[in-house]
Chains A and B, each alone.
Chain A
């Protein structure tokens, strides 16, 4: 059924069914195409669509917990993150970095350049290099399109709905739904479903190990002390696995000890690299 749906979408994108009243779920697909709104295929996503998807998934994350209410601190995290991202292979993305207000120790990424760190994670850190290490890991997920590939795999298995790939504005324009109307709630619920699944189960372990390895290199390349990456994992490894603030992190990632073991070869390759910790700047930023 989902394969048929995919074929239909491709056909519609060729303007073969304008104004036919073709509906899929709550969407009048023909009307959307008439309005110039792209309704696209999970197997063939361009950068604009990737960014839209990331925005939708970020809305779910921020619907779980809001941003930490400190503009200066959020700006500081953005500066660290943007410096790292500008040294990555996808510096051209419209990167966004935010602090999620939660005691949980975790960080998240969404396609198209969205990266989040919890305030609980931020509390564990000692210097700017450790913050950069967390962000470098998440940036690598975006650069390598790990979440996007996981979603594509889900789409092939028929586990996705089309609403992931349409913006809120386009949906509201099409159905004249407002935030309070049932249709919008239903649409929002469908978006949240896919994001919930992905963030609750996590990426596959190989993606996490790759994010560690390439994140470590990005950290070093950006002038930070790359061994701060290992410091972070050491601190996480020392916190009890039963600690509830780590529950989701442990569920969705390999254990810190496994990650340290997997990084050992990479660490030995760059053992002579030096860089900056910037503990004072970090302390000043969080104490303001």
Chain B
């Protein structure tokens, strides 16, 4: 009995740690499915994701890279020569996605849920272009429905607290002359 209780306690502890780890603050590099990209300018890889970092290998412009993760404004990349390091995210452009539908973001989750009006690229929910706008009729019933979804600032604050979102005073460095 004692061993059983101890085992359950250990199991509960482990599960609680896993739950915490999955929602931990994103000061650690954000994990993303690896994407591929191309560098915009020639630049040195950085050893650490910060401006004052030591420099690593020089990467030429238009070099192909694999983006492993991101921390703040830097991507952790692997180059075609198997070097790795950090590059400013503005110095990388993702290469074109081969196929958008279901591949990016939560698209696959949308398609896996059984709802009748799920949008997909190919199946039926229409686009929204200037021709559609030109043919539109004002719909005030939908505006009423929209109003029913509104939340108060109190609810929003509670929502933010649940996500551990905290208001930050953003100190912007003065623009250089």
Contacts and interface: CB of A to CB of B under 8 A. Distances in A.
Contacts of A41: none
Contact of B73 (A58, A130, A227, A277): A227
Interface in B152-177: 152-153, 155-157, 159-160, 163-170, 172-173, 175
B8 interface: no
Contact of A126 (B32, B51, B100, B117): B32
A166 B163 CA distance: 41
Interface in A229-276: 230-231, 234-235, 237-240, 243-245, 247-248, 251, 257, 260-261, 263-265, 267-276
B25 to A, nearest CB: 6
Interface stretch (B9-17, B57-65, B77-85, B136-144): B136-144
Contacts of B165: 83, 222-224, 276, 278
Nearest to A274: B27
A67 B150 CA distance: 13
B127 A103 contact: yes
Interface of A is mostly: helix
B96 to A, nearest CB: 5
B137 to A, nearest CB: 5
A237 B105 contact: no
Contacts of B169: 221
Contacts of B32: 126
Interface stretch (A6-14, A73-81, A137-145, A149-157): A73-81
Interface residues of A, number: 106
B162 to A, nearest CB: 8
A83 B26 CA distance: 19
Interface string A65-108: 11111110011011110110111000100111110111110100
Given A86-B157, A222-B167, A276 B26 contact: yes
Given A123-B104, A130-B105, 19 more contacts: A58-B143, A59-B138, A60-B136, A65-B128, A66-B139, A69-B115, A69-B117, A83-B159, A83-B165, A98-B146, A125-B105, A220-B170, A230-B89, A234-B94, A238-B94, A248-B127, A248-B128, A268-B73, A269-B172
